[in-house]
Amino acid sequence: MKPYTLFLYACLLSAVCVLWPVRVQAQESDALSEARRAYRYFVAGQGDSLYVMLTAEMQAALSPQVLGGMYAQLEAQFGPLQSEGEWQQVEAQGLKVCLRDMTFQRYALRFQAAFDAGGRIAGLFVKPAPRASSEPPAAFDSRKMEERDTVVACGKFRLPATLTLPRLPEGKRVPCVVLVHGSGPQDRDETFGPNKPFRDLAWGLAERGIATLRYDKRTRVYGKDFVPEGREADYDTEVVDDAVAAIALAQGGLPGVDADSVYLLGHSLGGMLAPRIALRSEEALAGVILLAAPARPLEDLLLEQVAYLNSLAPSAEGRRQEAELKRQVANVKRLGTSAFCDTIALPLGMPRSYWADAVACRPVEEAVRLTCPLLVLQGERDYQVTMHDFGLWRAGLLRQRNAVCKSYPRLNHLLQEGTGKATPDEYQQSSPVPAYVADDLVRFIRTGRVD
């Protein structure tokens, strides 16, 4: 039996938030305590005790005998258990997912249990553990770089920020890259589990002589109060307004920053909106970088992501969620017409104003209007923003002599290296952004090319 077939049963952990799937829970929870108990039953071969912890759907698919014999089967195939990893917990739309790596003599596996709102196990996996990254961890070298606290101010909103600079001779100024996050209430590092891709990029660029400005997202600092009085929730109030303010700060005389050499880098949702941000900036940018940027409507990506995750672990609940999301997305497509139904919930719980902006967004068309150098980068293993999107960028920018496109065969959405199509589990594995990404960014900033 191949390792990837060794799953017990899976309930779709679907409701991965579009463009940024899950959120790590920082402290011990009831679910984690229950996961520890389920794991003890699993290892001890106590199938009867584990069986009573399952949902009715899972009990219908599994027997106590199957549960009780699985661990012995694993040891027979992979040798004795040699070590066990730390427990981790993530969330996916109401499911609390607890996981732990198990290193056997001949293979490393991951034990994973997903708990529903009632505390029952709605999904149970044993599957290959993600491989540890060979990339050395990111390191701050005070001999080569320094960091200074600052604030991005946009109206009444004040967002804590960090300016990362290479160590400079007195009076010297360097290019600066403003980093704009993906969806969700992101911090300035784009922290996800043990990974901090924006911090990695900031340190990597500083080591190579380039400054960066990164800031906590408004939805993180102000929560549901992110919309100014008299405005509505949309892409501008979530992302664009603050990014424009950050660019103005970088161009306004930050210490060590060359005001005429400010670049914009948007990741994920930030990449999709980077052309809009650039067009709205009062001062011209030296260049724009799109990293894992959607080219298609947000609602289409959301539906594609949920369908992909459901294909990994089909379940009745997953099929129900996907069907309901299809109904919601179809209604989003009817916005502005008489066919729109006010009684159908909108995806992600976002208001009508937000989805109206999403439907109207045309990122590729906006990118064509840019005259500054433009770089589009994409991980080929990314399941959230796929090579389909990358193909749309390439096709749309084919005649633009200022545009350069490049994809990375081994990278996923968080710029983590791996093999095969990515899964959400990888995001909980510490894996820094590879050095060659920073190398390409620097090459683009210096020459306008990446080859």
Residue in 413, 425, 431, 440 annotated catalytic: 413
Convert the pLDDT of each residue in 161-220 to its tens digit. 999 999 988 889 999 999 999 999 999 999 998 899 999 999 999 999 999 999 999 999
Question: For the purposes of burial, counting CB atoms within 10 Å of the CB of 103, is it exposed (0-12), middle (13-18) or buried (19 or more)?
Answer: middle
Question: In this structure, are residues 254 and 149 in contact, taking their beta carbons and an 8 Å threshold?
Answer: no
Q: How confident is the model at residue 133 (pLDDT cuts 50, 70, 90)?
A: low
In this prediction the pTM is 0.80
Segment 280-296 mean pLDDT: 95
Q: Of all residues in the chain, what percent carry a pLDDT higher than 70? A: 91
Residue in 14, 183, 261, 268 annotated catalytic: 268
What distance in Å separates the CA atoms of residue 386 and residue 372, rounded to the nearest whole number?
25
Question: Is 49 a known active-site residue?
Answer: no
Question: In this structure, are residues 249 and 214 in contact, taking their beta carbons and an 8 Å threshold?
Answer: no
Residue 362's alpha-carbon distances to 284, 298, 367, 451, in angstroms, are 21, 11, 9, 28
What distance in Å separates the CA atoms of residue 260 and residue 247, rounded to the nearest whole number?
11
Q: How confident is the model at residue 418 (pLDDT cuts 50, 70, 90)?
A: confident
Q: Any residues with CB less than 8 A from the CB of 332 and at least 6 apart, and which? A: 299, 346, 347, 355, 358, 359
Residue 24 clears pLDDT 50, i.e. is over it: no
Question: Is 267 a known active-site residue?
Answer: no
Question: In this structure, are residues 345 and 328 in contact, taking their beta carbons and an 8 Å threshold?
Answer: yes
What distance in Å separates the CA atoms of residue 432 and residue 421, rounded to the nearest whole number?
18
What distance in Å separates the CA atoms of residue 318 and residue 106, rounded to the nearest whole number?
33
- Of 283-287, 308-312, 322-326, 447-451, the least confident: 308-312
Domains delineated in the chain? 3-128 (3.10.450.590), 145-297+361-447 (3.40.50.1820), 298-349 (no CATH)
Convert the pLDDT of each residue in 30-70 to its tens digit. 889 999 999 999 999 999 999 999 998 889 888 999 999 99
Residue in 200, 216, 382, 425 annotated catalytic: 382
Convert the pLDDT of each residue in 329-376 to its tens digit. 999 999 999 999 999 999 988 999 999 999 999 999 999 999 999 999
Question: In this structure, are residues 185 and 212 in contact, taking their beta carbons and an 8 Å threshold?
Answer: no
Q: How confident is the model at residue 425 (pLDDT cuts 50, 70, 90)?
A: confident
Residue 138: closest CA among 444, 434, 443: 434
Question: Is 413 a known active-site residue?
Answer: yes
